[in-house]
Chain A
Amino acid sequence: MSAPRHRGWFRGYAIGYLVFLYAPVVLLPVFAFNDSAIIAFPLTGFTTAHFGQLWAAEAMHGALVSSLKVAVAAAAISTVLGICAARASARYEFPGRRPIIGFIMLPLVLPEIIVAVALLVVLVQLGFSLSLWTVVLGHVLVCTPFSIAILSSAFLNLDRSLEEASQDLGEGRAMTFLRVTLPLVAPGIVASLLIGFTISLDEFIIAFFLTGTEPTLPVYIWSQLRFTAKLPGVMALGCLMLIASLALLGAAEYFRRRAQRQTGETGGYL
């Protein structure tokens, strides 16, 4: 329906758009390897010293460990909650199903600062001291909707007659869940864990409000952005984080495709 010359225009636009999208990301390695203490042009030379600095930055290591702890806990809890909600909405009819699921999905369309502020207020009122656990509470709230979105498609793609076949062949509910349901949605569970982990690792606002004495990695980076001298190190850190994120994303995609092969379904999270 479209003439080839249109395609040319579109392709040009698309490439221009990609340049816009990648402009900041490309600078990350550029300044991470630039032999200068300030983030500015012109470039002065090549160095890996900024990566070396990261080894010595004790505070950063602490923040990284905190972030990993929070991300693992948030991913695990939100995936468990996501399994419950996705299974309930995909398999059962119950009164108020849509509003209940809609309410659980609400953080998806709520500005994060509102979530952060509301949680902060309630925790302070109840006399909780802020810690990594309070960050986890907030992150679970934000990650659960993503888990539900991913797991819903996994549970919806599950042919119900497979579970019936298992019961027909003598297995009860529990064994059917273990032998059929769980293996078939496992790729979705892994993907949900990975996405939750990645979101939590990158989340700043909620962590900023709810963190106690131990900052998470984004909170640590935020504190470093004020100090010009620290910036090249932050760039190096950013590079490593990008690589780690892409590895996680690749793993998630791998599991999604495996799930597709298994169930013969097409379509992904997009």
Chain B
Amino acid sequence: MTDDDRPRGRALITLDRVEKRFGDVAALGGVSAEIMEGEFFSLLGPSGCGKTTLLRLIAGFDEPTGGAIAIDGQPMAGVPANLRPTNMVFQSYAIFPHLNVAQNVAYGLRRLRLGRAETARRVDEALGMVDLAGYGSRAAHALSGGQRQRVALARALIMRPRVLLLDEPLSALDKKLREQMQVELRRLQRAVGITFVLVTHDQEEALIMSDRIAVMFEGRIAQLASPETLYRRPVSRAVASFIGVMNFFDATVTGEAGGLIELDVAGLGRVAIPPEQAPGGVNGAAASVGIRPEMLTVLFSETDRAEHEVTGEVVEAVYYGDMTYYDLKLPGADRPATVSMRNTAGRRVLRPGDAARVGWGRESVILLAERGAGPAGR
């Protein structure tokens, strides 16, 4: 656990054992978490994990069937969406088709009775913030996907909410635009200092943008941590395989000595690791270890050395241009391990059937309590 994982500052949203049932189906099974003031918080998980349900409960579109939500210390039970200090960017953007851009952005200002000039000034300011200055008189249907997204953003930000909720805001955009918007959203969040809560199924997006991420499976939070911790210290096989690629090896916990956990790993051999590398704890002898493809190294030259070494055989080599991904059969392991290697100058690409020496270090190993037939999640 790094320092990034400890919530800093003041809790803005408190989720206390929040439950949501639809008939007999539990969409959320008791979620507790604190979302801090000014942080970029992501709810990440596969579709149907309850992340959007949770966002809608925070927004006030649905009421939880159990537990409580508080925003800024105020309990939200019974408070309708229109009276909550939250604003939302919808997945479909929900741009009012009968209003132009300026009217869309000014929609929520009606209740403030600001007067014409002040309204216009704020609309211009909000449009400027999302790089749409001068688009005020455009009709809603004349906007591109990216522009709709910006209008939705301006319309929510103009309300100066305590929390901005974003429901898969980038999923409708193409890859290039999405990557550009990821950076822009992050920049915008830092500039306005408002708490952002983002729902996404895209792990890369969550890693790039968030201060902290809650990974959700089946209506529960599986792990809540900073992007780096999530990637380097996943608590379960499900989290490990949902975020990035992870090789799993069956392992046996053989003992403890000098504060280190001793392991016998099928295919890799014996290793002793500190308890920080068992973020999910130790639970019995039967376990598995995870190791990321980039933490394994093919030792091309005779003189290359590593802390631990094993020799395997290339089963498959997939060439990506900048990288090559190898599937290597290691003696004693029940399935091939994936190794990613940067194609640096002069480095050759191995072919299936070639023998390969693989090096790794003990700090790259994660001990996971479960064994599995295959990777859980994806």
Interface residues, chain A, with chain B CB atoms under 8 Å away? 159, 161-162, 164-172, 179-180, 183-184, 261-264
Contacts and interface: CB of A to CB of B under 8 A. Distances in A.
Interface centre among B87, B96, B110, B159 (most CB of A within 10 A): B96
Nearest to B140: A262
Interface stretch (B63-71, B78-86, B170-178): B78-86
B92 A168 contact: no
B231 to A, nearest CB: 33
Contacts of B88: 164-165, 168
Secondary structure of the A contact surface, majority rule: helix
Contacts of A261: 141
Contacts of B281: none
Contacts of A168: 59-61, 81-82, 86-88, 156
A261 B142 CA distance: 11
A180 B95 CA distance: 11
A168 B104 CA distance: 13
Contacts of B155: 165, 169
Q: Which of A161, A172, A183, A184 has the most CB of B within 10 A?
A: A161
Contacts of A184: 97-98
B90 interface: yes
A164 B61 contact: yes
A179 B141 CA distance: 18
Interface string B154-179: 01100100000000000000000000
Contacts of A264: 97, 141
Nearest to A162: B94
Given A167-B81, A170-B82, A161 B90 contact: yes
Main SS at interface, chain B = mixed
13 contacts: A161-B91, A162-B97, A164-B94, A165-B96, A168-B81, A168-B88, A168-B156, A169-B82, A169-B156, A171-B82, A171-B108, A171-B111, A262-B98
A159 B91 CA distance: 12
A159 B92 contact: yes
Contacts of A171: 82, 108, 110-111
Contacts of B141: 261-262, 264
A166 B87 CA distance: 10
Contacts of A179: 107
A261 B97 CA distance: 9
Nearest to B61: A164
Contacts of B98: 183-184, 262
B159 A170 contact: yes
Nearest to A164: B61
Interface in B133-165: 141, 155-156, 159
A130 B159 CA distance: 58
A164 B90 contact: yes
The 8 A-B residue pairs whose C-beta atoms are closest, nearest first, are A169-B108, A165-B94, A161-B94, A167-B81, A161-B90, A183-B98, A167-B82, A168-B88
A110 B255 CA distance: 83
B97 A172 contact: no
Interface in B32-88: 59-61, 80-83, 86-88
Interface of B: 59-61, 80-83, 86-88, 90-92, 94, 96-98, 107-108, 110-111, 141, 155-156, 159
Contact of B107 (A159, A161, A166, A263): A166
B159 to A, nearest CB: 6
A187 to B, nearest CB: 10
A171 to B, nearest CB: 6
B99 to A, nearest CB: 8
Contact of A170 (B92, B94, B108): B108
A163 to B, nearest CB: 9
Nearest to B59: A168
Nearest to A169: B108
Given A164-B90, A167-B61, 14 more contacts: A159-B94, A165-B90, A165-B96, A168-B59, A168-B86, A168-B87, A168-B88, A168-B156, A169-B82, A169-B156, A170-B110, A171-B82, A184-B98, A263-B97
A161 B167 CA distance: 11
A166 B110 CA distance: 11
B101 to A, nearest CB: 14
B90 A172 contact: no
Contact of A161 (B86, B92, B97): B92
Contacts of B60: 167-168
A165 B86 CA distance: 11
A164 B56 CA distance: 10
A261 B141 CA distance: 8
Nearest to B111: A170
B160 to A, nearest CB: 12
Contacts of B97: 162, 184, 262-264
A171 B156 CA distance: 13
Taking each of A168, A172, A179, which has the highest tally of chain B beta carbons within 10 Å of its own beta carbon?
A: A168
Contacts of B59: 164, 168
In this complex, the member of A169, A172, A262 whose beta carbon has the largest number of chain B beta carbons within 10 angstroms is A169
A70 to B, nearest CB: 33
Contacts of A165: 88, 90, 94, 96, 107, 155
Contacts of B82: 167-172
A167 B159 contact: no
Contacts of B94: 159, 161-162, 164-165
Nearest to A166: B107
A169 B116 CA distance: 18
Contacts of B83: 170
A219 B88 CA distance: 58
Contacts of A172: 80, 82
A180 B81 contact: no
B184 to A, nearest CB: 21
